[in-house]
Every structure is written in structure tokens, then in C-alpha cells.
Chains A and B, each alone.
Chain A
Amino acid sequence: MRALANRPLVAGCLITGLVALMALASFLWTPYDVTKLVVADRTQAPSFTHWFGTDHFGRDIASMIMVGARNSIAVALVAVGIGMGIGVPLGLFAAARGGLLDEALMRLNDLVFAFPALLSAIMITAIFGPGAVNAIIAIGIFNVPVFARVARAGALSVWPREFILAARAAGKGQTLITVEHILPNIANQLLVQGTIQFALGILAEAGLSYLGLGAQPPMPSWGRMLFDAQTRMTIAPWMALFPGMAIVITVLGLNLLGDGIADLLDPKSRRRR
């Protein structure tokens, strides 16, 4: 019942759920076919036939936003997966071993942090060419040190606890303790960080595809739609309005979800509000 009283959590779940549902629904049905260009219908203002209007090729904006949601979610989600998959083991390992190895891994983290995410993303897409897969890799690499830090800091706070001492006395090795005791105890923090990085990933993907470095046409993406809208602001402002709102709503939902989970798991932070 505490969960229902947690307004950020409820709002975050609702918004995120709706966006996810919209992306899934686009596989089965969209109001119009996004690959079909209808020149006669180009840059039409929002109306009952086209709720969010049409773009310069006569494509239905609402349908494109639905299909674009797939791309945004897939890129950000896989990038979080990469960050967690590599970063968490590294952080746990550094915390378990300590000493020189820990120091070396953390310096490596500093190194990745020195490259602003968008900058390294641009460099990566410059080498391997633009595309959704390279956008995923670029955003994923930036996620690695983030998760490594969270995992390490969390693990370091769990290691001195008494039940770890008990596990060691029982003869369990570092690896087993890490998997059986450390990981479950920091899973909450990782989940919260995961939603934050998911939201940041949506923003980063939009930025990359706005620059033409993300998903390539004809695959609709929110960032690309904003790029197309920029030169047509005077004649078709709705082309910029709705895709941007889709980004804001999605990121807002994820951030609320993250705040809500953090509140739920840590009542102390709740009291601070």
C-alpha cells in the first residue's frame, strides 16, 4: 500500500507503461503506414484525420512517433544493458579485490569520464558510420563507468557488514560472497541508476539522431524528426512540437519512476522530501 501512496512511482509507472505500450502497439497497428509517402497530404496541420499533423512527405506524425518510440526504447535499453553487463562486474571485482587493481580500474573510469558522452559518441559514429547499432555502442560505453562506480560504492559499504564476516567464516570465497550476498544488497541502487541511465539514453539517442548519427531514414526516430522540423518551423511548427513532447514525456516518466523506486526502497530519502 505504501507503493500506491508514492505519487512519483505511480505517475512514473503509468507514463512509462503507456510509452512502452505505444511502442509495442506500433508493431501491430499504426493509424497510417509510416513508409508510405503521400505528397498531396504534406505538412498538414493537426486535424481529426491526422491528430498531430503530417510531415514534409505527407507521413502521419502520430504514427511516426509510435514507431520512433521503438527505436528510442531499444537503443536506450540495450545501452543500459551494456553498461550494467560490463560495469557492474568491474565495480564488484574492484571492491572485492581492492588495492592496486581497484585503483587501476577507478583511474580507467576517470579516463572514460573525461570524454563527454556526446563527444565519444560522435567519434564512434565517425569511425563506424552512423546507425542505431553504433549509437547503442556509443551510449553503452558511457554507461559502463557509471555502473562500475555505483556497484563499487555499494559493494564497499556492504563488505564490512557482519553477515559478510559470517559468510567468510563459513568458508565462502570472494566470488561466491559477491554473487550471493553483495549483489542482492546493491540490486536496488542498480535498479534506480538503471532507470536514470535509461532516461539519459533516450536523450542521448535523440541528440545523436538529431545530428544524423543515429537511426537512419526511413526508420523514424524522434531526434531525426526534430531535425527535419527545424528548417520548416515557420510553415509546420507541429512537426517540432509533438516529437519533442514525446521525448519529454518519456524521460519525465522514467525519471519519476527512478525517484519513486528510490523513495520506496529508502524511506530515509522519503522523509527528506
Chain B
Amino acid sequence: MTAYLAKRLAIAAITLALASVVVFSVLEIVPGDPARVMLGMNASEAQVEQLRQQMGLDGSPVQRYLHWAGNLLSLDFGRSYTYSVPVIDLIAERLAVSLPLALIALALSTAIAIPVGLYAASRRGKAGDAISMGAAQLGVAVPNFWFALLLVYLFAVWLRWLPAGGFPGWSAGIWPALKALILPALALALPQAAILARVTRSALVDVLSEDYIRTARAKGMPWRKVLWGHALRNALIPVVTIMGLQFAFLLAGTIIIENVFYLPGLGRLIFQAITQRDLIVVESVVMLLVATVIAVNLIVDLSYALVDPRLRSRA
């Protein structure tokens, strides 16, 4: 187990290091000089040159990479070119919107998908199965931002129950803030729930044909207990894997959804930073998202051992 853990950790660390090289190199070739952008078109050459030195933009690429990566490790992300505030403050502020959004969406999609998958698998071949899986097939095909527009039309324009966009901030109270996140989270969650429901169903169908399920039934265990205890637990591995992968999709999905709802989150921050050529913000946010994806995948891998005792002993 320790050897397995060490290997997984090492791979995650190497992937993260390589990712930082990729992000740094990609942004090296982005056209536009940050010093020039900050000072505007009217600044003199000398002023620009001075600022370049101040920002450490005059070193060799390797020097600058090491400097940047070293700072990242000590959580010093630098200062935003356009907002002139520490990037870490900017990220913390935006994370207060994006993180709850992604977590609510993940919780919603799991809460929808697992019962639907269980229902479909236990009604396999019957009308209930066909209808719920037909709905899932449709859900997979719906782009989340289009679904978002439909939700806005129904709940904001027509029924006027929820706001169409914007975010009042957590200081305005929990309920108004949560209200602003309901539609975005729903829009993010539904297509993901459709995928997860399909995976849950097919994993369960595989498990339900196992001998130990028949044994459990034969000894008189109630169906509900067999389904939730024996079957779901054994079907969890593919389900957890997909949930891990979905977290990356949810993070990326926030970029579009936050733009639909004008939410001041990380996704909107990175999108604006790119158009404003605020490269230091882009670098930091991309690295944060990539690190999150790597960490989540690592946790998923390790959680297999928790879900499946057989893997624990083998590893």
C-alpha cells in the first residue's frame, strides 16, 4: 500500500511539474508585452523598460520559470497587471463563488444520478428503465449553456422566482447568494447527472448478475438491502471514477456558465484575464485548476482502495 501510495504521489507531482512548464511556455508565446499593456500606449520606451525590469521580465526564460515556479510553491502568485491587487486575493474572492457553485452542482448531479441509475437498473428491460435512460440519453446531448438559457427563461423571465444573473455577494446574506447560484448549479449539474446515471446503471447491471447477489437474494435478504448494500457498493468504482473526471468538466463548465449568469467566479476571471492579457492571473488560475484536477484524480485513485478491499491487499 505504501509503495502504491508513493508511486501515485510521485506521478501526480511529475504531472504537475510538467503542467507548469507547459503553462509557462504557452504563455511565453502569447503576443503582447504585459509592461506595455499596464502602462498604456502613451508610455515612453524607457518607462516600459523600467517596468519590465521591476516585474522581472528581462531575465532569461529559464530564470523566469524558476522564479515563477518557486513563488507558486510558496503560494506567492504575484500581482494582477490590470487590477493591481495580489493575485491570491483575487483568486480567494472568486473562489468564494466558483467553489460553492461546483460543489452544489456535484452534489446535485450525484443526488439525481445515483437514484435514477439504481431505479433503471432494478427495473431493467421494463418501461421505467427505457424512459429514465431515454431521458439520460437526451440529457447527455444538451449543452449546459443552452439549458441555462432555458432555465433563465422559465424561472427568471416567466415565473420570476429566481434572478437571471449576477451575484449579490455572501455579505448580502446566505439566501440571496444561494438563490443566485441555484440556476447556474442546476445548469451545470443536469448534463453531468445524465452521464453519471448511465454509468451507474450499467455498472449496477454488471454487478447484479454476479453470484453473490443471487446468494443474498436466496438467503432471503430484502431486495432494497441487496441493491443499496451489496450492489451499489460493488458498482461504485466506475461511478467514482466518472465523478472524478466530472469534477474537471464542472470546473471547465463554470467558465461558460459563469459567463451566462454574469457570476464573478474563477471562470469569468480567467476569461476576462485572457482578453485583457493579464497573463499572471491566467497562469495562476490555470495552474490552480490543473492542480485541482490532478489532486482530484489522485484522491479518486486512492479511494478505490477504500471502496474495494481487494485492491487494498493487492496494492
Residues of A within 8 A of B (CB): 107, 110-111, 113-119, 122-123, 126-127, 199, 203, 206-207, 210-211, 226, 229-230, 233-234, 237, 240, 244, 247-249, 251-252, 255-256, 272-273
Contact = CB atoms under 8 A, between A and B. Distances in A.
Given A248-B142, A251-B141, 5 more contacts: A115-B19, A118-B255, A127-B29, A226-B146, A248-B146
A107 B15 contact: yes
Contacts of B26: 123, 127
B289 A211 contact: no
B255 A122 contact: yes
B76 interface: no
Nearest to B133: A273
- If over half of A's interface residues share one DSSP class (helix, strand or loop), that class is named, otherwise mixed; here it is helix
- If over half of B's interface residues share one DSSP class (helix, strand or loop), that class is named, otherwise mixed; here it is helix
A114 B19 CA distance: 8
Nearest to A124: B26
Interface stretch (B39-47, B55-63, B88-96, B149-157): B149-157
A116 B26 CA distance: 15
A267 B260 CA distance: 43
Contacts of A127: 26, 29-31
A111 B141 contact: no
A255 B271 contact: no
Chain B, interface residues (CB within 8 Å), range: 35 or more
A248 B125 CA distance: 25
Interface string B9-41: 001001110110010001001110000000000
A207 B145 contact: yes
Contacts of A237: 153
Nearest to A119: B252
A244 B143 CA distance: 8
A237 B150 CA distance: 9
Contact of B14 (A107, A119, A255): A107
A234 B157 contact: yes
A251 B142 CA distance: 8
A233 B153 contact: yes
Nearest to B144: A207
A116 B271 contact: no
Contacts of B150: 240, 244
